[in-house]
Structure 1
Amino acid sequence: MTKPKVLISDKMDPNAARIFAERGCDVDVKPGMTKDELIACIGEYDGLAIRSATKVTADVLDAATKLKVVGRAGIGVDNVDIPHASSKGIVVMNTPFGNSITTAEHAIALIMALARQIPAADRRTQAGEWPKNDFMGVEVTGKTLGLIGAGNIGSIVASRALGLKMKVIAYDPFLTPERAVELGVEKVDLGALVERADFITLHTPLTDETRNILSRDRLEKCKKGVRIVNCARGGLVDEVALKDLLDSGHIAGAALDVFEVEPPAKDHPLFGTPNFICTPHLGASTTEAQVNVALQVAEQMADFLVNGGVTNALNMPSLSAEEAPKLKPYMALAEKLGSLVGQLAHGDLPKISIETEGAAAQLNQKPIVGAVLAGLMRRYSQSVNMVNAPFLARERGMEVREIRNEREGIYHTLVRVTVETSQGSRSVAGTLFSNGAPRLVEMFGISIEADLEGDMLYISNTDMPGFIGSVGAILGEANINIGTFHLGRREAGGEAILLLSVDSPVSADLIDKICKVRNVKRVQPLKF
């Protein structure tokens, strides 16, 4: 079996390469490549491990014909075109927890530096002055800290700030009241936060919703004398407005570790502004954090490439290495059922329902849903997988519904896929046998047991004597060998279904010939 091949294209702790090798991957370490050099070689690799220097753009992804996963050692993935990666079926991972403590501690350090004006006092003292009377700081004890974003890093900042005896308020649309109580913070809306906070720290990704979340209007509404810290992403704060309000004295101080454009221009308007502190994107720059994120991304990527485990992916459901073996047969069943309805359905499919019963309902549903969509969406593209299938489904306006029934029915475990078509709802269902083998057990309301493998032929007809012999004779005359033969009918003399596995594909001419057999309604070749 060929080993997965991984490229590390940015400077990273050398132990990352060791982990890849120990876990069954071949690895090349080539930091500092130009974009053209990366494009020239990326087609050789199954995995790409990066930090912030490598830009994984659409043209890089288009050249990455074998690539299955991009792993970012760190939180921010601004340097990866995630929508394009998703459309290509490439998993994008990050390491959201490896540098959380480091970034949170940097935010706290900047809060203290602002409160006591430490950088300016240091510069003047080292220049030979003794400006003791020029620096009057403020205590943080008893002050109100406003968190914009109370996720992993924000919650650590809250914990440290509470230890400094600050009062903490937080704005985060995803923060539940129960979680706020657990963190010891007060949940508020953004308007209340800017009006009440003595210090504001930002801990949110840069999205269309968060860009300039501290706009000029919001900065002007801030409490006079507020101090602002941003160790998250550039672009969250209106830098021009921040300069103006620092000059006017409305904002008492600001500390930025990140800028909208990095590195910022040498003549950036904030440089030299009194009570302004900046650092060159050092939030994750500790020895411990650099080691942690490098090891974590190597472990995650190797786990995915070797075992199928998915951790901290930004464009597909997580699937632990422990879950993967248990879910693998269900995902195989789900993909076959999705493929079956996709090959048989006419026209667009505006709605799809994925229902699990019994043992299947006890499992992580997202991989099962992703597998159904991967099978289904192959009617549109053969390069579909679990990563880009949900993307393609959304692109086509498909409504996906998940239904979980923990009760057991006739079968110990069951997966049912129902699609809305121009002819109404069509449903197929399957189960797993005790050996883990997937088996179709129901099709369009008709009980029928069949393996879905290789080349097959679907025939719907009215149940009448002589039909089976006619079809068998036509295939025999064409030297097409029948592997398996599966029949089901709604009632005697009523609608019937025949599923045949055949040893070679059936030509269009032969299908036309079978269509002319008496009482045949439809003939459709299938491929699994």
Structure 2
Amino acid sequence: MAPKVLVSDKLSETAVQIFRDRGIDVTFDPTLGKDKDKLLSVIGEYDGLAIRSATKVTEKLLEAAPNLKVVGRAGIGTDNVDKEAASRRGVIVMNTPYGNMITTAEHAIALMFAVARQIPEANASTHAGKWEKSRFMGVELTGKTLGVIGAGNIGGIVCQKAVGLGMKVAAYDPFLSEERATKLGVEKVELDALLARADVITLHVPLTDQTRNILSAENLARTKKGVRIVNCARGGLVDEAALAEALKSGHVAGAAFDVFAEEPATASPLFGLPNVVVTPHLGAATTEAQENVALQVAEQMSDYLLTGAVTNALNMPSVTAEEAKLMGPWVKVAEHLGAFVGQMTDEPLKSIEIVYNGSVAAMNLEALNCSAIAGVMKATNPDVNMVSAPVVARERGVEISTTRQDKSGVFDGYIKLVVKTAQRERSVAGTVFSDGKPRFIQIKGINIDAEVGAHMLYTTNHDEPGIIGTLGQTLGENGVNIANFTLGRSDRGRDAIALLYLDEQPAVTVLDKLRTTGLFKNVAPLRFNV
């Protein structure tokens, strides 16, 4: 059955056609996002939801969407999506951060020129029949210092364009490497140095607790007198009231804003001030950018729904189509290992350690981690998936750690899972054989070679004769067929284990018969999603 996608905002017909061409059952209703009640009544039918900014993906909407697997935002901003609620419900949230990079960078440069030469006011004055050449004295940008706060995707393009304009560029970005700075042709500086030296400051960072009001009243006071401020990134990065006061005092010579703390912005301390250029969040508003992000979100959502490839997800590691194909068996191994220890553990978890050895250590470990954690958590919460599992683990205070190791032992690669509670520690390891099938290769430090089946039985005992006979006879007498039987022991006369692959799950009465023999320390039925 083809996946179903709802497009509830305005996307191009070309983007909608991509869904159709990929075999997706798509409903295109570009006004539906503005009708909350109607959207709520139909969302339960769909596997995917493609949106722009009009549709609000709230916790209430997500609760009404039991089949929803992915929300795709055509654009970079996802303020209209409750990402925490989506993660808890296992819904991937994607955006398209690269489709409007050039457009947004160009808008920042355009606003920088506009405020440097007072173009909007000069335009209005000339339209009014005035000829006020002396009133609109501007400044050249060539040779001036541009301070760029945030030199990521968009900020990096702004840096390159500014260098091309003959500007000196100083960039503040904790994640900017010296090599990247050299490649961009900019000087990497601390924020205080940028504030003191920049003739123009432009912001290109997301709004986080660390960046909120990064240009506060205090930081604005540290800027060079006559500075000009440009913000095409996010409202809330600049204290608008403090900036208005700095403009009135003359400390700041001009400002150009495309984004505001409250949007739609019908009022702002900046409105009406001289040499302040404002636009209504037009950074991505070009024909090319709108088409690009629409096409990208259609391709990304189709890839995920059809192949499992994850691109530009905000709450899930990215996995390419090639990775998804290569990692598929290892994802299952990680899930099976998690399912094993999850079903064996009935105490609150303290920590989960995932060890990757050999070839698997070079793969996308974030995705494998999610699969392993999901396997563990499903034992007590069947609705958990790779997206929601890390959130559930975090909410329960479970510590997650990952270790990479070089190849050791006879296997080219393997995964080992170690789960700790307050009372005990459990470990299990698995690998992928050349036939592509997952195998359990170690339990409690005891080596085995067991194929994974939907129905399995795990027993532990003191190593002594008669165990195989008891298991075989008891199961056989009760009509339970054994597909595969694997034994292992730590040493002669010490701890021993058995892992049986069965055709069906044994009845509780059969398990009780095994327990009453007195031969077994533990008799545990296991189920796996194979």
Band of TM-score, shorter chain? over 0.9
1:41 aligns with 2:42: yes
- When structure 1 is superposed on structure 2, of 416-425 and 111-120 the one drifting more is 416-425
The root-mean-square deviation of aligned C-alpha atoms, in Å, is 1.5
Question: Residues of 2 paired with 1:192 and 1:36: CA distance?
Answer: 52
The alpha carbon displacement at 1:452 in A equals 2.1
In the TM superposition, residue 311 of structure 1 has moved relative to its aligned partner by 0.8
Paired with 2:324 and 2:518, the residues of 1 have a C-alpha distance of: 48
Counterpart Cα distance in 2 of 1:133 and 1:359: 71
The unaligned stretches of length 5 or more in structure 2 are none
Residue 361 of structure 1 corresponds to which residue in structure 2? Answer: 361
Which residue of 1 is the match for residue 151 of structure 2?
150
Helix, strand or coil at the partner of 1:498: strand
Moved more, 113-122 or 217-226: 217-226
Amino acid at match of 1:308: G
Query: Residue 408 of structure 1: CA displacement?
Result: 4.7
Moved more, 122-131 or 231-240: 231-240
- Equivalent in the alignment of 1:22: 21
In the TM superposition, what whole-angstrom CA distance separates every residue of 1:207-239 from its partner, at most 9, and x where no partner exists?
Answer: 122121111221222211111111111111111
1:400 Cα shift?
2.1
Which stretch of structure 1 is more off in the superposition, 513-522 or 144-153?
Answer: 513-522
In structure 1, distance between residues paired with 2:323 and 2:514: 45
Give the secondary-structure state (helix, strand or coil) at the position aligned to 1:219: helix
Write out aligned runs for 1:211-250 (5 A).
211-250=212-251
Secondary structure of 1:379's aligned partner: coil
**Alpha-carbon separation, structure 1, partners of 2:239 and 2:422:** 51
Distance 2:509 2:427 in 1: 29
| C-alpha distance in structure 1 between counterparts of 2:466 and 2:407, whole Å | 41
Residues 279-320 of structure 1 show CA distances to partners (whole Å, capped at 9, x for unaligned) of 111100111111111111111110111011111111111111
Q: Distance in 2 between matches of 1:244 and 1:431?
A: 64
Shift of 1:396: 2.1
Residue 46 of structure 1: CA displacement?
A: 0.7
Aligned runs of 1:16-415 on 2, under 5 Å?
A: 16-33=15-32, 34-265=35-266, 267-415=267-415
C-alpha displacement of 1:470: 2.8
Residues in 1 aligned to 2:341 and 2:238: alpha-carbon distance in whole angstroms: 49
Q: Which residue of 2 aligns with 1:454?
A: 454
| 1:514 equivalent in structure 2 | 514
Residues in 2 aligned to 1:285 and 1:186: alpha-carbon distance in whole angstroms: 31
Structure 2 distance, partners of 1:76, 1:485, is 54
> Does residue 11 of structure 1 match 2:10?
yes
Aligned partners of 2:240 and 2:268 also within 8 Å:
no
How many residues end up aligned between the 2 structures?
A: 526
Look up the equivalent residue of 2:306 and give its one-letter code.
Answer: V
Post-superposition offset of 1:509: 4.1
1-structure distance, mates of 2:268, 2:407: 64
What are the superposed Cα offsets for residues 110-151 of structure 1, whole Å, 9 maximum, x if unpaired? 000000000000001001111111111011111111111110
Of 343-352 and 140-149, deviating more is: 343-352
Separation in 2, partners of 1:467, 1:318: 47
Cα shift readout 1:2-24 (whole Å, capped 9, x = no counterpart):
11111111111111111111112
**1:430 is matched with which residue?**
430
Looking at structure 2, the residues matched to 409 and 184 of structure 1 have their Cα atoms a distance apart, in angstroms, of: 48
SS state of the match for residue 154, structure 1? helix
Q: Aligned residues: percent identity? A: 57
C-alpha distance in 1 between matches for 2:145 and 2:154: 18
Q: Distance in 2 between matches of 1:71 and 1:253?
A: 37
- Measured in 2, the distance between the counterparts of 1:455 and 1:321 equals 30
The answer (yes or no) to whether the contact 1:89–1:388 under 8 Å persists in 2 is yes
Amino acid at match of 1:21: R
Per-residue deviation, residues 183-220 of structure 1 (Å, max 9, x unmatched): 11112222222222111111111112212111122122
Separation of aligned partners in 2, 1:412 and 1:258: 53
Normalised to the residue count of structure 2, the TM-score between the two structures is: 0.96
For 2:66 and 2:370, how far apart are their aligned partners in 1? Answer: 22
